[in-house]
A and B are shown apart, each in its own frame.
Chain A
Amino acid sequence: MNKDINWFKLNRSLHRDIGYFCIGLTLIFAVSGIALNHLDDWNPNYQVTQETHLIPDINSVINQENFESWLLKKLNIKTKVKARFWQTPTEYKLFTTDNHSLLINAQNNSVVVEQVKARFLLKSLNTLHLNEIKSAWTYFSDLYAILLIYLALSALFMVRGKKGVKSLRGLLVAAGFIIPAIFMMNYSL
Protein backbone atom coordinates (compact mmCIF):
# COMPACT_ATOMS: atom_id res chain seq x y z
CA MET A 1 0.00 0.00 0.00
CA ASN A 2 2.76 2.36 1.03
CA LYS A 3 4.46 1.81 -2.31
CA ASP A 4 1.53 3.62 -3.98
CA ILE A 5 2.20 6.87 -2.17
CA ASN A 6 4.32 9.26 -4.16
CA TRP A 7 6.05 11.12 -1.30
CA PHE A 8 7.68 13.58 -3.64
CA LYS A 9 4.35 14.57 -5.17
CA LEU A 10 2.60 14.67 -1.78
CA ASN A 11 5.29 16.93 -0.38
CA ARG A 12 4.98 19.30 -3.32
CA SER A 13 1.17 19.42 -2.99
CA LEU A 14 1.31 20.06 0.74
CA HIS A 15 4.04 22.67 0.29
CA ARG A 16 1.91 24.41 -2.34
CA ASP A 17 -1.36 24.43 -0.34
CA ILE A 18 0.21 25.32 2.99
CA GLY A 19 2.18 27.97 1.13
CA TYR A 20 -1.06 29.48 -0.20
CA PHE A 21 -2.51 29.45 3.30
CA CYS A 22 0.55 31.16 4.73
CA ILE A 23 0.62 34.05 2.23
CA GLY A 24 -1.68 36.30 4.26
CA LEU A 25 -0.06 35.46 7.56
CA THR A 26 3.42 35.94 6.15
CA LEU A 27 2.49 39.37 4.81
CA ILE A 28 1.02 40.33 8.19
CA PHE A 29 4.16 39.30 10.06
CA ALA A 30 6.54 40.68 7.43
CA VAL A 31 4.95 44.12 7.10
CA SER A 32 4.56 44.56 10.86
CA GLY A 33 8.04 43.10 11.35
CA ILE A 34 9.57 45.89 9.27
CA ALA A 35 7.46 48.46 11.12
CA LEU A 36 8.44 47.14 14.55
CA ASN A 37 12.09 46.72 13.59
CA HIS A 38 12.43 50.52 13.42
CA LEU A 39 10.82 51.29 16.75
CA ASP A 40 13.65 53.68 17.60
CA ASP A 41 12.98 55.77 14.50
CA TRP A 42 9.22 56.09 14.56
CA ASN A 43 6.06 55.09 16.35
CA PRO A 44 4.67 52.16 14.34
CA ASN A 45 1.33 52.14 16.16
CA TYR A 46 0.30 55.75 16.49
CA GLN A 47 0.54 58.97 14.59
CA VAL A 48 1.18 61.66 17.17
CA THR A 49 0.87 65.28 16.13
CA GLN A 50 1.81 68.23 18.30
CA GLU A 51 0.96 71.89 17.90
CA THR A 52 1.80 74.72 20.24
CA HIS A 53 -0.56 77.68 20.58
CA LEU A 54 -0.08 80.90 22.51
CA ILE A 55 -3.33 82.22 23.95
CA PRO A 56 -2.76 85.42 25.94
CA ASP A 57 -5.72 85.21 28.33
CA ILE A 58 -5.24 81.69 29.66
CA ASN A 59 -3.92 82.58 33.10
CA SER A 60 -6.89 84.86 33.79
CA VAL A 61 -9.52 82.36 32.61
CA ILE A 62 -8.08 79.03 33.73
CA ASN A 63 -9.95 78.96 37.04
CA GLN A 64 -13.27 79.99 35.57
CA GLU A 65 -16.09 77.51 35.21
CA ASN A 66 -16.38 77.84 31.43
CA PHE A 67 -12.62 77.54 30.85
CA GLU A 68 -12.74 74.22 29.01
CA SER A 69 -15.39 75.24 26.49
CA TRP A 70 -13.70 78.64 26.09
CA LEU A 71 -10.35 76.99 25.34
CA LEU A 72 -11.78 74.42 22.92
CA LYS A 73 -13.51 77.25 21.06
CA LYS A 74 -10.26 79.25 20.90
CA LEU A 75 -8.46 76.20 19.53
CA ASN A 76 -11.32 75.37 17.17
CA ILE A 77 -11.53 71.83 18.53
CA LYS A 78 -15.03 70.43 18.32
CA THR A 79 -15.06 67.69 20.91
CA LYS A 80 -15.71 67.07 24.59
CA VAL A 81 -13.35 66.96 27.54
CA LYS A 82 -13.38 63.56 29.22
CA ALA A 83 -10.77 64.09 31.95
CA ARG A 84 -8.63 66.76 33.52
CA PHE A 85 -5.53 66.80 35.70
CA TRP A 86 -3.30 69.37 37.40
CA GLN A 87 0.19 68.13 36.58
CA THR A 88 2.05 70.88 38.43
CA PRO A 89 0.80 74.11 40.01
CA THR A 90 1.12 75.80 36.61
CA GLU A 91 0.42 72.92 34.23
CA TYR A 92 -3.08 71.66 33.61
CA LYS A 93 -3.93 68.79 31.32
CA LEU A 94 -7.17 68.11 29.51
CA PHE A 95 -8.07 64.94 27.64
CA THR A 96 -10.78 64.90 24.98
CA THR A 97 -12.97 62.17 23.62
CA ASP A 98 -11.14 62.49 20.27
CA ASN A 99 -7.79 61.55 21.81
CA HIS A 100 -6.43 65.06 22.13
CA SER A 101 -4.38 65.87 25.16
CA LEU A 102 -4.00 69.56 25.88
CA LEU A 103 -1.09 70.58 28.09
CA ILE A 104 -1.90 74.05 29.30
CA ASN A 105 0.86 76.15 30.81
CA ALA A 106 -0.75 78.91 32.80
CA GLN A 107 2.59 80.63 33.36
CA ASN A 108 3.46 81.29 29.73
CA ASN A 109 -0.09 81.09 28.31
CA SER A 110 0.74 78.23 26.00
CA VAL A 111 -1.17 75.13 25.03
CA VAL A 112 0.44 72.06 23.49
CA VAL A 113 -2.24 70.18 21.60
CA GLU A 114 -1.28 66.60 21.04
CA GLN A 115 -3.46 64.23 19.09
CA VAL A 116 -3.00 60.50 18.96
CA LYS A 117 -4.36 58.51 16.04
CA ALA A 118 -3.88 54.79 15.65
CA ARG A 119 -2.19 54.03 12.34
CA PHE A 120 -4.71 52.50 9.95
CA LEU A 121 -4.28 48.70 9.76
CA LEU A 122 -0.64 48.80 10.88
CA LYS A 123 -1.64 49.13 14.55
CA SER A 124 -3.77 45.98 14.24
CA LEU A 125 -1.02 44.09 12.39
CA ASN A 126 1.53 45.05 15.07
CA THR A 127 -0.88 43.95 17.78
CA LEU A 128 -1.14 40.55 16.15
CA HIS A 129 2.61 40.32 15.54
CA LEU A 130 3.40 40.98 19.20
CA ASN A 131 0.52 38.77 20.33
CA GLU A 132 -0.85 41.44 22.62
CA ILE A 133 -4.28 39.84 22.48
CA LYS A 134 -3.15 36.40 23.69
CA SER A 135 -6.24 34.10 23.66
CA ALA A 136 -6.83 32.03 20.51
CA TRP A 137 -4.29 34.03 18.52
CA THR A 138 -1.50 32.42 20.58
CA TYR A 139 -2.43 28.98 19.30
CA PHE A 140 -3.13 30.16 15.81
CA SER A 141 0.25 31.89 15.50
CA ASP A 142 1.91 28.78 17.00
CA LEU A 143 0.29 26.81 14.22
CA TYR A 144 1.57 29.32 11.69
CA ALA A 145 5.09 28.93 13.08
CA ILE A 146 4.81 25.13 12.78
CA LEU A 147 3.61 25.52 9.19
CA LEU A 148 6.60 27.76 8.47
CA ILE A 149 8.90 25.07 9.86
CA TYR A 150 7.20 22.59 7.56
CA LEU A 151 7.56 24.93 4.57
CA ALA A 152 11.25 25.41 5.34
CA LEU A 153 12.00 21.70 5.72
CA SER A 154 9.79 20.53 2.87
CA ALA A 155 11.50 23.04 0.56
CA LEU A 156 14.63 20.87 0.89
CA PHE A 157 12.83 18.03 -0.88
CA MET A 158 10.98 20.02 -3.55
CA VAL A 159 13.52 19.76 -6.32
CA ARG A 160 15.72 16.87 -7.24
CA GLY A 161 18.82 16.76 -9.35
CA LYS A 162 20.98 19.61 -10.61
CA LYS A 163 18.90 22.35 -9.01
CA GLY A 164 18.28 20.50 -5.76
CA VAL A 165 19.71 21.15 -2.35
CA LYS A 166 22.58 18.73 -2.99
CA SER A 167 23.90 20.98 -5.78
CA LEU A 168 25.68 24.31 -5.35
CA ARG A 169 22.31 25.71 -4.27
CA GLY A 170 22.89 24.03 -0.95
CA LEU A 171 25.20 26.96 -0.26
CA LEU A 172 22.12 29.19 -0.12
CA VAL A 173 20.74 26.97 2.66
CA ALA A 174 24.07 27.19 4.47
CA ALA A 175 24.08 31.00 4.10
CA GLY A 176 20.74 31.16 5.90
CA PHE A 177 22.40 29.59 8.93
CA ILE A 178 25.80 31.26 8.62
CA ILE A 179 24.60 34.88 8.47
CA PRO A 180 22.71 34.80 11.79
CA ALA A 181 25.58 32.77 13.28
CA ILE A 182 28.02 35.58 12.38
CA PHE A 183 25.76 38.11 14.13
CA MET A 184 25.49 35.84 17.17
CA MET A 185 29.26 35.54 17.40
CA ASN A 186 29.86 39.23 16.75
CA TYR A 187 27.44 40.35 19.46
CA SER A 188 28.27 37.49 21.84
CA LEU A 189 24.67 36.33 21.91
Chain B
Amino acid sequence: MSALKLMIIVMLSGIFSVFNFASADQDFGNGADMAHLSAISEILTSPNDFMSSPVTVEGTIVKVCKKRGCWMELASDKKFQTLRIKVRDGEMVFPMTAMGKVAYATGKLTAIPLNLMQTKNYLAHIAQEQQESFDANKVTKAITVYQLSPTGVTIED
Protein backbone atom coordinates (compact mmCIF):
# COMPACT_ATOMS: atom_id res chain seq x y z
CA MET B 1 0.00 0.00 0.00
CA SER B 2 1.45 3.37 -0.95
CA ALA B 3 2.07 6.06 1.65
CA LEU B 4 -0.51 8.25 -0.06
CA LYS B 5 -3.24 5.58 0.18
CA LEU B 6 -2.41 5.00 3.83
CA MET B 7 -2.71 8.70 4.54
CA ILE B 8 -6.09 8.88 2.80
CA ILE B 9 -7.34 6.00 4.99
CA VAL B 10 -6.09 7.77 8.12
CA MET B 11 -7.76 10.98 6.98
CA LEU B 12 -11.08 9.22 6.41
CA SER B 13 -10.91 7.63 9.85
CA GLY B 14 -10.43 11.13 11.26
CA ILE B 15 -13.47 12.39 9.41
CA PHE B 16 -15.40 9.39 10.71
CA SER B 17 -14.43 10.18 14.29
CA VAL B 18 -15.73 13.75 13.82
CA PHE B 19 -19.06 12.43 12.54
CA ASN B 20 -19.15 10.12 15.49
CA PHE B 21 -18.78 13.15 17.73
CA ALA B 22 -21.59 14.96 15.96
CA SER B 23 -24.02 12.24 16.93
CA ALA B 24 -22.55 11.63 20.41
CA ASP B 25 -25.00 11.45 23.28
CA GLN B 26 -24.62 13.50 26.40
CA ASP B 27 -22.71 11.00 28.51
CA PHE B 28 -19.66 12.22 30.38
CA GLY B 29 -17.14 9.86 31.94
CA ASN B 30 -18.84 6.52 32.44
CA GLY B 31 -22.33 8.01 32.31
CA ALA B 32 -24.53 8.07 35.40
CA ASP B 33 -25.57 4.94 37.26
CA MET B 34 -29.34 5.39 37.26
CA ALA B 35 -29.93 2.36 39.50
CA HIS B 36 -29.05 4.11 42.77
CA LEU B 37 -30.81 7.46 42.75
CA SER B 38 -30.94 9.61 45.87
CA ALA B 39 -32.86 12.84 46.25
CA ILE B 40 -30.68 15.95 46.59
CA SER B 41 -32.80 17.18 49.48
CA GLU B 42 -32.24 13.90 51.30
CA ILE B 43 -28.49 14.14 50.76
CA LEU B 44 -28.27 17.73 51.94
CA THR B 45 -30.38 17.01 55.02
CA SER B 46 -27.95 14.38 56.30
CA PRO B 47 -24.83 14.60 54.12
CA ASN B 48 -22.72 12.43 56.45
CA ASP B 49 -24.89 9.42 55.59
CA PHE B 50 -23.86 9.73 51.95
CA MET B 51 -20.14 10.34 52.27
CA SER B 52 -18.95 6.76 52.31
CA SER B 53 -20.21 5.42 49.00
CA PRO B 54 -20.98 6.84 45.55
CA VAL B 55 -24.41 8.36 45.04
CA THR B 56 -26.45 9.31 41.99
CA VAL B 57 -28.47 12.50 41.94
CA GLU B 58 -30.97 13.89 39.48
CA GLY B 59 -31.93 17.48 38.83
CA THR B 60 -32.50 20.25 36.34
CA ILE B 61 -29.29 22.05 35.42
CA VAL B 62 -29.73 25.60 36.65
CA LYS B 63 -26.18 26.95 36.39
CA VAL B 64 -23.09 26.00 34.42
CA CYS B 65 -19.57 27.38 34.80
CA LYS B 66 -19.31 29.99 32.07
CA LYS B 67 -15.55 29.82 31.73
CA ARG B 68 -14.51 26.21 31.60
CA GLY B 69 -17.70 24.20 32.03
CA CYS B 70 -16.06 22.59 35.05
CA TRP B 71 -19.12 22.66 37.31
CA MET B 72 -22.85 22.78 37.14
CA GLU B 73 -25.61 23.13 39.69
CA LEU B 74 -28.54 20.78 39.82
CA ALA B 75 -31.84 21.93 41.26
CA SER B 76 -32.99 19.95 44.22
CA ASP B 77 -36.44 18.47 44.62
CA LYS B 78 -36.75 21.06 47.40
CA LYS B 79 -37.21 24.80 46.67
CA PHE B 80 -34.18 27.13 46.74
CA GLN B 81 -31.75 24.24 47.04
CA THR B 82 -29.04 23.12 44.61
CA LEU B 83 -26.12 20.71 44.55
CA ARG B 84 -22.91 21.51 42.75
CA ILE B 85 -21.35 18.90 40.48
CA LYS B 86 -17.66 19.74 40.23
CA VAL B 87 -14.90 18.23 38.14
CA ARG B 88 -11.27 19.13 37.68
CA ASP B 89 -10.76 21.46 34.72
CA GLY B 90 -10.97 19.53 31.48
CA GLU B 91 -12.03 16.23 33.03
CA MET B 92 -15.57 16.79 31.80
CA VAL B 93 -16.82 19.94 30.11
CA PHE B 94 -20.47 20.69 30.81
CA PRO B 95 -22.02 22.68 27.95
CA MET B 96 -23.72 25.97 28.80
CA THR B 97 -26.50 25.05 26.42
CA ALA B 98 -27.45 22.22 28.79
CA MET B 99 -29.10 24.67 31.19
CA GLY B 100 -32.69 23.69 31.79
CA LYS B 101 -32.06 20.05 30.88
CA VAL B 102 -32.23 17.21 33.36
CA ALA B 103 -28.92 15.68 34.43
CA TYR B 104 -27.96 12.61 36.41
CA ALA B 105 -24.58 12.52 38.13
CA THR B 106 -22.89 9.62 39.90
CA GLY B 107 -19.97 10.26 42.20
CA LYS B 108 -18.64 10.92 45.62
CA LEU B 109 -20.06 13.60 47.89
CA THR B 110 -17.43 15.82 49.46
CA ALA B 111 -17.71 18.41 52.21
CA ILE B 112 -15.58 21.56 52.24
CA PRO B 113 -15.98 23.48 55.50
CA LEU B 114 -15.14 27.18 55.02
CA ASN B 115 -14.52 29.93 57.56
CA LEU B 116 -16.25 33.30 57.10
CA MET B 117 -13.47 34.85 55.02
CA GLN B 118 -13.24 31.76 52.82
CA THR B 119 -17.02 31.79 52.45
CA LYS B 120 -16.95 35.40 51.24
CA ASN B 121 -14.10 34.69 48.85
CA TYR B 122 -15.80 31.56 47.56
CA LEU B 123 -19.14 33.28 46.94
CA ALA B 124 -17.37 36.30 45.39
CA HIS B 125 -15.51 33.98 43.02
CA ILE B 126 -18.72 32.21 42.02
CA ALA B 127 -20.47 35.56 41.42
CA GLN B 128 -17.54 36.82 39.35
CA GLU B 129 -17.52 33.66 37.25
CA GLN B 130 -21.24 34.02 36.66
CA GLN B 131 -21.00 37.77 36.03
CA GLU B 132 -23.42 38.40 38.88
CA SER B 133 -23.34 41.19 41.44
CA PHE B 134 -22.11 40.29 44.91
CA ASP B 135 -22.10 42.09 48.25
CA ALA B 136 -19.64 40.53 50.71
CA ASN B 137 -21.25 42.44 53.61
CA LYS B 138 -24.41 40.39 53.22
CA VAL B 139 -22.49 37.20 54.04
CA THR B 140 -22.53 36.77 57.78
CA LYS B 141 -22.21 33.01 58.25
CA ALA B 142 -19.53 30.53 57.30
CA ILE B 143 -20.78 27.70 55.15
CA THR B 144 -19.82 24.13 54.35
CA VAL B 145 -19.86 23.48 50.65
CA TYR B 146 -21.15 20.08 49.66
CA GLN B 147 -20.38 19.04 46.15
CA LEU B 148 -20.37 15.91 44.10
CA SER B 149 -17.21 14.84 42.28
CA PRO B 150 -18.69 12.78 39.48
CA THR B 151 -17.29 9.72 37.76
CA GLY B 152 -20.20 9.75 35.34
CA VAL B 153 -22.81 12.23 34.19
CA THR B 154 -25.72 11.81 31.82
CA ILE B 155 -27.59 14.79 30.45
CA GLU B 156 -31.02 14.03 29.06
CA ASP B 157 -32.20 15.90 26.01
Task: Enumerate chain A interface residues (CB-CB to B < 8 A).
Answer: 14, 17-18, 21, 25, 39, 43, 45-46, 48, 50, 82-83, 85-89, 93, 95-96, 99, 101, 116, 118, 127-128, 130, 132-133, 135-137, 140, 143
Contact = CB atoms under 8 A, between A and B. Distances in A.
B66 to A, nearest CB: 6
Decide if the interface of chain A is mainly helix, strand, loop or mixed: mixed
A43 B66 contact: yes
Among B11, B60, B66, B99, max chain A CB count under 10 A is at B99
A140 B24 contact: no
A32 B96 CA distance: 18
Decide if the interface of chain B is mainly helix, strand, loop or mixed: mixed
Contact of A140 (B7, B14, B101, B131): B14
Given A87-B80, A89-B80, A143-B10, A48 B100 contact: no
24 contacts: A21-B11, A43-B67, A45-B96, A46-B96, A82-B101, A83-B100, A85-B60, A85-B75, A86-B79, A87-B80, A95-B62, A95-B100, A96-B100, A99-B99, A118-B95, A127-B21, A130-B90, A130-B93, A133-B20, A133-B24, A136-B13, A137-B21, A140-B14, A140-B17
Which are the 10 A-B pairs with shortest beta-carbon distances? A95-B100, A136-B17, A83-B100, A133-B21, A83-B60, A140-B14, A116-B96, A85-B75, A132-B93, A82-B100
Contacts of B100: 82-83, 95-96, 99, 101
Contacts of B93: 127, 130, 132
A130 B95 CA distance: 13
Nearest to A20: B7
A128 B93 CA distance: 12
Nearest to B10: A143
Interface of B: 3-4, 7, 10-11, 13-14, 16-18, 20-21, 24, 60, 62, 66-69, 75, 79-80, 90, 93, 95-97, 99-102, 131
Contact of A14 (B3, B11, B20): B3
A114 B62 CA distance: 13
Nearest to B22: A124
Given A48-B96, A87-B80, A116-B96, A135 B21 contact: yes
B62 A93 contact: yes
A130 B14 CA distance: 16
B62 A137 contact: no
Contacts of A99: 96-97, 99-100
Nearest to A123: B95
Given A46-B96, A85-B75, A86-B79, A17 B18 contact: no
A39 B68 contact: yes
Contacts of B4: 17
A137 B17 contact: yes
B12 to A, nearest CB: 11
Contacts of A17: 3-4, 7
Among A39, A89, A136, max chain B CB count under 10 A is at A136
A136 B19 CA distance: 11
